Amino acid sequence: MSDDRSNDIAVVDLADVPRDALADMLATFAPGEHGPREFAAAQGYCGVDAFVEFWARLREGPWPQLGLVRTDSMILMRGRRALGEVLLRYSTTPKLEINGGNIGYSVRADERNKGYATLMLRAALARAAAGGIERALLTVRTDNSASLRVVAKCGGVAFDEVPFEDGINRRFWVPTGAERSSS
């Protein structure tokens, strides 16, 4: 990859991201703003290397003792700058059906409103299709207008709203393209 000023944008597996770029991105999220980092830390995986180790473990398969499902963590890179993260969960649990779904994403604050969330969601949908998932469940807080627009751009169809913590999550089915390629 080239330097930060490059227009080379790619979604890459977490394990392939330079640790300094990952550390820089993770440091930009305020407490409570980056669930994957906080979730890994709550399981005792603190720091960048431990964060990568935690998500590498979930890429290998479910972690039933913790109620976790197989998950791929991917990072959107522009040159050597990490712009955001997208998680693809290959199955859901009752908890994920309320909050999290099959796909979740976050973009660092200084790179928002540039279309990066849409790029990441489309990449995750393509990987989901390759993994045999015909439609992905996404959950979005009803007060997150930017994410609601991203899901709509990617073909999401809302089917209900459910209470979660101090707000409401709107749930969507988003086609991955798998159903078209299998017929």
Q: Considering the domain boundaries, does residue 44 fall inside one?
A: yes
In which domain, by residue range, is 129 found? 9-134
Q: Confirm whether 147 is domain-assigned.
A: no
Beta bridge partners of 141: 169
Q: Let me know if residue 122 belongs to a domain.
A: yes
The domain that contains 29 carries what CATH number?
3.40.630
Residues 6+ apart with CB under 8 A from 32: 38
pTM of the model: 0.90
Token pair, residue 125, equals: 């949908």
User: Across the strands, what pairs with 158?
Assistant: 172
For residue 87, give the amino acid letter: L
Tell me if 129 sits within 8 A of 96, measured CB to CB. no
Distance CA 22, CA 42 (A): 19
At 28-79, the pLDDT tens digits run 887 777 678 888 888 888 889 999 999 999 999 988 888 899 999 999 999 9
Query: pLDDT tens-digit profile of 124-144?
Result: 999 999 999 999 999 999 999
For residue 163, pLDDT beyond 90: yes
